[in-house]
Chains A and B, each alone.
Chain A
Amino acid sequence: MSPELKEAYARYLLTLADDEIVIGYRDSEWTGVAPVIEEDVAFSSLAQDEIGHARLYYTLAGQRLGKDPDHLALLRPKEGYYHARLLEDRTTPKYDPGGNHQGGGDWAKAVARRFLYDLFDDLRVEGLLSSADPELAGAAEKIRREEKYHLRHGEAWWRTLAMGSVEARERLEAALEAIWPDLLGLFEPAPGEEALVEAGLIARTTDALRDPWLERIYPYFEAHALPFPGEKAGAEWRLGVEARTGGRQGIHGPGWDELYEEMTMVRRLEPEGAW
Chain B
Amino acid sequence: MHVWEVFRQEQEGEPMVHVGSVVAPDRERAREYARDIYSRRYEAYRLWLVPREAVVEITDLDYLQPPIDRTYRMGVAYRVTVEKRRQIKRMFEDLAKEVYGES
Contacts and interface: CB of A to CB of B under 8 A. Distances in A.
Do A and B interact directly, with beta carbons closer than 8 Å?
A: yes
Contacts of A45: 36, 40
A152 B26 CA distance: 13
A214 B84 CA distance: 84
A38 B28 contact: no
Interface string A135-150: 0000000000000010
A38 B36 CA distance: 8
B26 A38 contact: no
Contacts of B101: none
B25 interface: yes
Q: How large is the interface on B (under 10, 10 to 19, 20 to 34, 35 or more residues)?
A: 10 to 19
Interface string A73-113: 00000000000000000000000000000000000000000
A175 interface: no
A50 to B, nearest CB: 15
Contacts of B22: 38
A42 B28 contact: no
Q: How large is the interface on A (under 10, 10 to 19, 20 to 34, 35 or more residues)?
A: 10 to 19
Contacts of A63: none
B25 A160 contact: yes
A38 B40 contact: no
A45 B31 CA distance: 14
B33 A42 contact: yes
B16 interface: no
Interface in A148-166: 149, 152-153, 156, 160
Contact of A41 (B23, B25, B28, B37): B37
Contacts of A36: 23
Contacts of A152: 28, 32
Contacts of A39: 33
Interface in A17-74: 36, 38-39, 41-42, 44-45
A149 B29 CA distance: 11
B33 A41 contact: yes
A156 B36 contact: no
A160 B1 CA distance: 13
A14 B29 CA distance: 33
Contacts of A38: 22-24, 29, 33, 36-37
A156 B33 contact: no
B47 to A, nearest CB: 14
A156 B29 contact: yes
Interface in A179-236: none
Interface of B: 22-26, 28-29, 32-33, 36-37, 40
19 contacts: A38-B22, A38-B23, A38-B29, A38-B33, A38-B37, A39-B33, A41-B33, A41-B36, A42-B29, A42-B32, A42-B33, A42-B36, A44-B36, A45-B36, A45-B40, A156-B26, A156-B28, A156-B32, A160-B25
Query: Top 5 nearest A-B pairs by Cβ distance?
Result: A38-B33, A41-B36, A156-B28, A42-B36, A45-B36
Given A45-B40, A152-B28, A156-B29, 18 more contacts: A38-B22, A38-B23, A38-B24, A38-B29, A38-B33, A38-B36, A38-B37, A41-B33, A41-B36, A41-B37, A42-B33, A44-B36, A45-B36, A149-B32, A152-B32, A156-B26, A156-B28, A156-B32
